[in-house]
Amino acid sequence: MMQRVIIADDHPVVYKGLKEILQENFGSVMVDAAGTGRELIEKVKKTDYDLVLLDISLPDANGLDVLREMRRKRPRLPVLVISMYPEEMYAVRAIRTGAQGYLTKQSASEELIFAVRKILSGKRYVNPSFAVRMVVDFESDAAKPAHEKLSNREFQVMRMFGSGKTMKDIAAELNLSINSIRTYRVRIMEKIGVKGTEGLIHYALTHGLHEYKNG
């Protein structure tokens, strides 16, 4: 039975909505909040939670990077990623990084309740309509689009280029050097088979991989 959950999301309205759904359906559950990845990691170190609800887009970090760090510290802590991004963009990456489930923020509250119960019972959850496709992604490298070869960080950088951000913008946002971003750009272009930043941007836009403005 779930006793304590932490929600990592920097949008107060989203946090309030998730908290209310959990408290209405899981009895006397205690709900904590984390507005940043760093805050989540610190709280997970100090408190034994039964479940983490994790957003992909946190102010200080990509949720998948936070998930990877959590896995090193609390490998058995169940994590359900809840994101505005569609399943085809992040669900497989989230599961591979260590999440037990993935939901979009557009999902109905009934689906959230079902997903939480399934994860707490030791199983994984993704939307059934996406599950078959995800299995194919796991089992068939030949069926994957080129961007599935990218690491989580490379994928993030590619999406930022696709949104029209410059190397300087990306370096500042990720707190990396311009040389590091330049290296990522070269690796990305090699892996997806394009030439030049324009080719990279065109690929990202063609595949719908640019960033959402309110991510």
Spell out the domain ranges in the chain: 4-139, 146-206
In this structure, the chain runs to a length of 215
Summarised one tens digit per residue, pLDDT across range 125-154 is 988 877 666 565 555 555 567 888 888 889
pLDDT for residue 212 is more than 80:
no
The answer to whether the CB of 63 falls within 8 A of the CB of 69 is no
The answer to whether the CB of 49 falls within 8 A of the CB of 73 is no
Q: Tokens representing 166?
A: 């410059």
Rounded-to-integer distance, Cα 82 and Cα 84, Å: 7
Q: How confident is the model at residue 12 (pLDDT cuts 50, 70, 90)?
A: very high
How are beta strands 57-58 and 30-34 bridged, if at all? unpaired
The answer to whether the CB of 22 falls within 8 A of the CB of 116 is yes
CATH number of 4-139: 3.40.50.2300
Domains 4-139 and 146-206 equal at CATH topology level: no
Rounded-to-integer distance, Cα 41 and Cα 95, Å: 19
Summarised one tens digit per residue, pLDDT across range 198-211 is 888 888 888 888 76
The answer to whether the CB of 96 falls within 8 A of the CB of 149 is no
pLDDT of residue 214: 42
Is residue 79 classed exposed, middle or buried when 0-12, 13-18 and 19+ CB atoms within 10 A define those classes?
buried
Q: What does pTM read for this prediction?
A: 0.71
For residue 190, the one-letter residue type is E
Rounded-to-integer distance, Cα 139 and Cα 135, Å: 6
- Architecture of the 146-206 domain: Orthogonal Bundle (1.10)
